[in-house]
Amino acid sequence: MTPHINAPEGAFADTVLMPGDPLRAKYIAENFLEEVIPVCDVRNMLGFTGTYRGKRISVMGSGMGVPSISIYAKELITEYGVKNLIRIGSCGAISDEVQMMDVVLAMGASTDSGVNRSRFPGTDFAMIADFGLLSAAVNAASKLGTRYHVGNVYTSDLFYSPDESRYQTMAKYGMLGVEMEAAGLYGVAAEYGANALAMMTVTDHIIRGEHLTPEERQLTLNEMIRLTLDAVSTLD
């Protein structure tokens, strides 16, 4: 047990999917996994372990923002021996090439979060995905015919940015979208020796001012969940 996770030793599988919303974790467990066991409910940050195509897999909410996901990811790795952490979230697109409902695979994550500077004073550490998880996700997306993009994302501490002009600069530098956890997850995985990947479905287009309807959100979320589970089922 940890201050934030009330699960016994061995309760989590080697791979944990981490949506921001704990209710999304419950939705995934109830609709996509078999033999499900609830494993965590501290602060209602729900976690479950089940199986997909016979493979043991866990899902647990990360909460919103770098500090929240950093706590859960660190404890999952160091206290429960989790090896692969896969964020499945939503993002706002900034690239003109990215369309609503596309999936963005974060090969790298730039950030304004202070966690980088806390770890590496005076140095900009490149936050990157694990190549094995990334290529498994790309293969699964190709097989399913999902529209996807691989590249750099921006992890912001602020959902409501006081300076929207920065999105134009990010787009110029080829950033695909903005979200709030990927760089935090990659930093923790690098520090504690685990593999991480963040993938986000595009629910908003920040530059174009577009937003998904609730039905479209559900549809695209289901597609990303299936993609992720298919990818995980191919891992050793």
Ligand X SMILES: O=P(O)(O)O[C@H]1O[C@H](CO)[C@@H](O)[C@H]1O
Ligand Y SMILES: O=c1cc[nH]c(=O)[nH]1
Mask: binding to ligand X, 136-175, rule CB under 6 A, as x and -? -----------------------x----------------
174 assigned to a ligand binding site: no
188 three-state secondary structure: helix
Q: Counting contacts by CB under 6 A, is residue 189 touching ligand X?
A: no
Q: Which of 79, 82, 27 is nearest to 57 (CA)?
A: 82
For residues 108 and 151, give the distance between their C-alpha atoms in angstroms, rounded to a whole number.
6
Q: Counting contacts by CB under 6 A, is residue 204 touching ligand Y?
A: yes
Q: Which of 19, 22, 47, 177 binds ligand X (CB under 6 A)?
A: 19
CB 115 within 8 A of CB 74: no
CB 182 within 8 A of CB 198: yes
69 assigned to a ligand binding site: no
20 assigned to a ligand binding site: yes
- Cα dihedral across residues 114, 148, 133, 42: positive or negative: positive
| Bridge partners, 149 (sequence order) | 104
Q: Which of 11, 85, 176, 180 binds ligand Y (CB under 6 A)?
A: 180
Q: Which of 60, 153, 178, 185 binds ligand Y (CB under 6 A)?
A: 178
132 three-state secondary structure: helix
Residue 20 binds which one of ligand X, ligand Y, none, with CB within 5 to 8 A depending on kind?
Answer: ligand X
Q: Select from 77-85, 134-142, 176-184, 209-217 the region that touches ligand X (CB under 6 A).
A: 176-184
Residue 102 binds which one of ligand Y, ligand X, none, with CB within 5 to 8 A depending on kind?
Answer: none
C-beta of 217: minimal distance to ligand Y in Å? 10
**Minimum CB distance to ligand Y smaller for 142 or for 168:** 168
Q: What is the CA radius of gyration of the chain?
A: 17
Q: Is 142 exposed, middle or buried (0-12, 13-18, 19+ CB in 10 A)?
A: exposed
C-beta of 206: minimal distance to ligand Y in Å? 5
Number of other residues whose CB lies within 10 A of the CB of residue 20: 21
Q: Counting contacts by CB under 6 A, is residue 224 touching ligand Y?
A: no
Q: Counting contacts by CB under 6 A, is residue 69 touching ligand Y?
A: no
Q: Please report, as residue ranges, which positions from 90 to 109 form the binding site for ligand Y (by CB under 6 A).
A: 90-92
Residues in the chain, overall count = 236
Asked if 163 is an active-site residue, the reply is no
Q: Counting contacts by CB under 6 A, is residue 20 touching ligand X?
A: yes
Strands in 112-230 per DSSP E: 148-155, 177-179, 195-205, 210-211
Active-site positions read 204
Residue ranges of the annotated binding site are: 4, 20, 24, 43, 87-90, 179-181, 203-204
